[in-house]
Amino acid sequence: MTSRRKFVQQVAALGTLSAASAIAPSLARAQAAKLRVGLMLPYTGTYAALGTAITQGFNIAVEENGGKLGGRDIEYFTVDDESEPAKATDNANRLVQRDKVDVLVGTVHSGVVMAMVKIARDSGTLLIIPNAGANAATGSQCAPNIFRTSFSNWQPAHPMGKVMYDKGHRKVVTLTWKYGAGEESVESFKEAFTKLGGSIVKEMYLPFPNVEFQAFITEIASLKPDAVFVFFAGGGAIKFTKDYAAAGLKDKIPLYGSGFLTDGTLEAQGASAQGLLTTLHYGDGIENPKNKQFRYAYGKKYGIQADVYAVQGYDAALLLGSGLTAVKGSFGDKKSLYGALEKVKIDSPRGAWTMSRAHNPIQDIYLRRVEGNANQVIGVAWKALEDPARGCKLGA
């Protein structure tokens, strides 16, 4: 099935398409009381699988809640943002100005989310971020109406500094895409690793979403660092671990990353990912009843294993549902709604988490090892890690 056909089917399965209300205004009027949810996510490109998993996770929570959130039926308005920052402002404006959504949910890519953050700040629309880690979204650009159910780019990478130092590595090469998520992940890793006494031999970058890794891998082989730290995700992560292994480096120069390197990708990565250590706020085998229940429901409905992106989408719907329930489904009193969202304790498959003052999860970061098709949790790399929220004045 083409990704386009699959995408259309998924959106149709979620509920009413926005086009339907454009064709039939009377129907749209009849649906006025529905909660208007704008999903802005990538359904094509390197991060397509991530956008789909978030959508599916969101849908599982809504289904568990009888198809409603905060007691209201839902009308979905969906945009494929293609992980393309140049189109992000127009895409978000379509949802806010044309479709008049009550809430924007998105996105995956840090560059795209910053356009959404600006529109949310300017329009006052509630924004729930189910992945993109751009530090500024809950840092210098934090706002009363902006909440995140995923992580800041600083969070998953930071504990890896100590993990790698404790493994005895002292000289490390970093490699990533040159855009917000890659740069901020490397910066955070570097902050922790160099503070302990480690040094960075070379920082390497390639443009997003290029996957021509060969020249970099050749240079890593000649530099002979103790280890390599990378940020890659989605299709790029699959290509990278395969190229790294094919070049014969996997058993010579240990490879580490924030956990996006091996999340939702293991089947395609096969042997190239076996044994890799990563840090992330989720792991496949987390032993809690919520995770078991979620993974079972997700597998049953979609026929694939849940991953971190599905969990973040699920938690976005839990957050919205719980905030709206506290204010009886109404957006009339925004202060009370945001107050309720700030106070939530989300019973997540990743383990319970709470909101920081900047509206970003305070959460455990796990150390995981790839075993077969699972990211097995082998320890907690950092308990209840809170993003420093540099530049955010909320709650200060």
Stretch that binds ligand BEZ, among 30-38, 130-138, 238-246, 369-377 (CB under 6 A): 130-138
Closest residue by Cα to residue 47 from 5, 95, 118, 106: 106
CB 359 within 8 A of CB 141: no
User: What Å distances lie between residue 359 and 92, 338, 342, CA to CA?
Assistant: 21, 10, 7
Distance (Å, rounded) from C-alpha 277 to C-alpha 259?
8
Q: Which is nearer to ligand BEZ, 181 or 316 (CB)?
A: 181
Query: CB 235 → ligand BEZ: shortest distance, Å?
Result: 11
β-strands 361-371, 277-280 pairing? antiparallel
Q: Does 239 bind ligand BEZ (CB under 6 A)?
A: no
Closest residue by Cα to residue 277 from 162, 109, 130: 162
Among 34, 36, 72, 109, binds ligand BEZ (CB under 6 A): 109
β-strands 255-258, 227-231 pairing? parallel
Query: CB 331 → ligand BEZ: shortest distance, Å?
Result: 27
For ligand BEZ, what does the binding mask look like between residues 62 and 81, x meaning CB under 6 A? --------------------
β-strands 146-148, 277-280 pairing? unpaired
Closest residue by Cα to residue 318 from 379, 262, 361: 361
Query: CB 133 → ligand BEZ: shortest distance, Å?
Result: 4
Q: Which of residues 175-204 bind ligand BEZ (CB under 6 A)?
A: 181
Backbone phi, then psi, for 128, in 5-degree steps?
-115, 120
Stretch that binds ligand BEZ, among 86-94, 132-140, 315-323, 332-340 (CB under 6 A): 132-140
- Give the DSSP per-residue string, 256-308: EEEGGGGSS-HHHHGGGGTT-EEEES--TT--SHHHHHHHHHHHHHHSS---H
Query: CB 95 → ligand BEZ: shortest distance, Å?
Result: 19
Q: Does 108 bind ligand BEZ (CB under 6 A)?
A: yes
Stretch that binds ligand BEZ, among 93-101, 102-110, 243-251, 373-381 (CB under 6 A): 102-110
Query: CB 260 → ligand BEZ: shortest distance, Å?
Result: 4
Q: Which is nearer to ligand BEZ, 75 or 307 (CB)?
A: 307
Q: Which is nearer to ligand BEZ, 260 or 298 (CB)?
A: 260
Stretch that binds ligand BEZ, among 72-80, 106-114, 220-228, 331-339 (CB under 6 A): 106-114
Among 133, 198, 236, 351, binds ligand BEZ (CB under 6 A): 133
Q: Does 233 bind ligand BEZ (CB under 6 A)?
A: yes
Q: Which is nearer to ligand BEZ, 50 or 61 (CB)?
A: 50
User: What Å distances lie between residue 259 and 146, 210, 225, 365, CA to CA?
Assistant: 25, 20, 21, 10
Stretch that binds ligand BEZ, among 84-92, 108-116, 245-253, 369-377 (CB under 6 A): 108-116
- Size of the residue set binding ligand BEZ (CB under 6 A): 12
Half-sphere exposure of 182 (CA within 13 A, CB side): 20
Distance (Å, rounded) from C-alpha 214 to C-alpha 220?
10
Q: Does 260 bind ligand BEZ (CB under 6 A)?
A: yes
Distance (Å, rounded) from C-alpha 133 to C-alpha 123?
22
Query: CB 264 → ligand BEZ: shortest distance, Å?
Result: 10
Identify the three-state secondary structure at position 385.
Answer: strand
Backbone phi, then psi, for 281, in 5-degree steps?
-90, 15
Among 96, 117, 132, 238, binds ligand BEZ (CB under 6 A): 132
Q: Does 154 bind ligand BEZ (CB under 6 A)?
A: no
Q: Does 39 bind ligand BEZ (CB under 6 A)?
A: no
Distance (Å, rounded) from C-alpha 12 to C-alpha 266?
28
Q: Which is nearer to ligand BEZ, 78 or 265 (CB)?
A: 265
Q: Does 110 bind ligand BEZ (CB under 6 A)?
A: yes
Interface ranges with ligand BEZ (CB under 6 A): 47, 50, 108-110, 131-134, 181, 233, 260
